[in-house]
A and B are shown apart, each in its own frame.
Chain A
Amino acid sequence: MELVNIFVRSAFADNMIFTFFFGMCSYLAVSKTVKTAVGLGAAVIFVLGITVPLNFLLETYILKEGALTWLGEEYASYDLSFLSFIMFIAVIASTVQLVEMLVEKFSPALYGALGIFLPLIAVNCAILGGALFMQQKQFNNVGEATVYGLGSGFGWFIAIVLIAAIREKIKYSHIPGPLKGVGMAFILTGLMGLGFLGFLGF
């Protein structure tokens, strides 16, 4: 029950794009056609689903104050949390690299679909944002963290696919010249964000 709660909340109410604007750069750059949007969205779900639990373990057993207690009582007072940014980004960058190599080796078909997007993801704010929010929300176990990662990824996926579908059609509308391109995409995202506020109960 708690897990369903976390999933729905992170996918809809706390949507990465519409409420936090995380990952906007690639969201705007890759949302011109639905096909590429689906590819990038799937890659984000995949990477968030792996890196959030990994970072959760890192946080709980190494970085947090008192996390090193499992090594022995004398380590209980160590607090490495100042390293969390650098460790999170290192985990993300290396996971992305590893996943890319593994996918290429074992599933060329999947690589064909996701491959070109994977390198883009290391600097996608949504991934680091997922890790930082995970740290803040103080989840109780890896399961919750994983579900949170998958939920956030799913929310990002919906957002980019929806906007891509609209942008494909909006080509046929008469938009004032200066608003063409990103300007219109911003307004659309804003309007969809207002719609998503409904999930919070506004």
Chain B
Amino acid sequence: MAINRDSNVYTLSFAALMVVLVGGFLAFVSMSLKPIQKANQTNEKMQNILQAIGIEETETVSRDEAGAIFNDYVKRRITIDYNGKILSDLGVADPINPQDKLDAFNIDIRKEYSKYIKPIMNANKGNDEKIKSELANNENIHFPLFICESNGNKYMVTSCSGKGLWDDIWGYIGFESDGKTISGAIFDHKGETPGLGSVITEDWFEKQFRSKSIHENGYSAIQVLKPGKNLDNHQVDGISGATFTGVGVDEMMGRSMEVYYNFVQSNPKVLN
């Protein structure tokens, strides 16, 4: 072959050809796998919400089934702000539209925390009153709320997000129709230590929250204690070796559940 492999022309045309081929091929792969990936994410969220209700029928729902039965259980999707004002209220008849950023299903609870809540908390460390007033005044902060129904009983699934030891943690918490007693909880995390902090996603930890109450002469936060203590109606066991993840769960639940508690107090009708 007479082509000079060191010439600039050859090098440039080789590079150009490579860019076109690789770029085209990757775009093709990505385009063809995109629908499956999107479906995975949506189904996972539906699965989390369904499992958080804490009823037998949805407890073991798999990710792939979740999409099909989501609407059988979740009847209303409500978005509220920190003060409990309703920003969006959709029913089963309204399909989930990814473009509608106010649809409760489309609210990215991790982003709510990292983008809006975390900066406020870091800037006013130690000053709880200031944090609360700033959170209340920030109109970017949304809280999703799902009203679910099964066998004539109403449930409410709420969400919370915060930070663990390494990275974000978040969860969905289900309540019975009184809006005060927890019926189920599902947690997830981005990068907690596998086997230690990641235990928050395991059954025994999540099931502890069931039938705990956030009410005792007004709002009473759920506390995550060090393991092995005597527990009352507002306390759960933490995880040995993962104190900080436990502190994170404690903090995010205490902060977020108060919003929903106040909301139900002022709008008792949503659960009737």
Question: Which A residues have a C-beta under 8 Å from some C-beta of B?
Answer: 1-2, 5, 14, 79, 82-83, 86, 136-138, 140, 200-201
Shortest Cβ distance from B144 into chain A, in angstroms? 19
| Residue in A82, A137, A201 whose beta carbon sits within 8 Å of that of B30 in the complex | A82
Give CA–CA (A136, B114) in the complex, Å: 11
From B115-123, B202-210, B252-260, give the one contacting chain A.
B115-123
Give CA–CA (A79, B33) in the complex, Å: 13
In this assembly, does B10 line the interface, its C-beta being within 8 Å of a C-beta of chain A? no
Shortest Cβ distance from A99 into chain B, in angstroms? 21
| Residue in B26, B119, B122, B244 whose beta carbon sits within 8 Å of that of A83 in the complex | B26
Given contacts A2-B122, A140-B119, 8 further A-B contacts (CB under 8 A): A82-B30, A83-B23, A83-B26, A86-B22, A86-B26, A137-B167, A138-B115, A201-B244
Q: Chain A residue with minimal CB distance to B37?
A: A82
Contact indicator A82/B119 (Cβ below 8 Å): no
* A82-B30, A200-B165 as given contacts; A2 in contact with B114, CB under 8 Å: no
Q: Which residues of A contact B26 (CB under 8 A)?
A: 82-83, 86
Q: Which residues of B contact A2 (CB under 8 A)?
A: 119, 122-123
B-side interface residues, number (CB < 8 Å): 18
User: How many Cβ-Cβ contacts under 8 Å join chain A to chain B?
Assistant: 28
Q: Which residues of A contact B23 (CB under 8 A)?
A: 83
Q: Which residues of B contact A138 (CB under 8 A)?
A: 111, 114-115
In this assembly, does B166 line the interface, its C-beta being within 8 Å of a C-beta of chain A? yes
28 A-B residue pairs with CB within 8 Å: A1-B122, A1-B123, A2-B119, A2-B122, A2-B123, A5-B122, A14-B166, A79-B34, A82-B26, A82-B27, A82-B29, A82-B30, A83-B23, A83-B26, A86-B22, A86-B26, A136-B167, A136-B190, A137-B114, A137-B167, A138-B111, A138-B114, A138-B115, A140-B115, A140-B119, A200-B165, A200-B244, A201-B244
Q: Which residues of B contact A5 (CB under 8 A)?
A: 122
Give CA–CA (A201, B243) in the complex, Å: 10
Shortest Cβ distance from B132 into chain A, in angstroms? 19
Give CA–CA (A138, B115) in the complex, Å: 8
Q: Chain B residue with minimal CB distance to A6?
A: B122
Q: Hey, what's the 0/1 contact readout for B18-41 against A, CB within 8 Å counting as 1?
A: 000011001101100010000000
Shortest Cβ distance from A120 into chain B, in angstroms? 24
**Which residues, 166 to 220 on B, are CB-close (under 8 Å) to A?**
166-167, 190
Pick the 9 closest A-B CB pairs, nearest first.
A82-B30, A2-B122, A138-B114, A5-B122, A2-B119, A1-B123, A82-B26, A200-B165, A201-B244
Q: Chain A residue with minimal CB distance to B125?
A: A1
Give CA–CA (A86, B115) in the complex, Å: 27
Shortest Cβ distance from B203 into chain A, in angstroms? 26
Q: Which residues of B contact A136 (CB under 8 A)?
A: 167, 190
Q: Chain A residue with minimal CB distance to B241?
A: A202
Q: Which of A1, A79, A82, A200 has the most CB of B within 10 A?
A: A82
Give CA–CA (A200, B165) in the complex, Å: 8
Q: Which residues of A contact B119 (CB under 8 A)?
A: 2, 140
Give CA–CA (A200, B167) in the complex, Å: 12
Give CA–CA (A138, B119) in the complex, Å: 13
Shortest Cβ distance from B51 into chain A, in angstroms? 25
Q: Chain A residue with minimal CB distance to B33?
A: A82
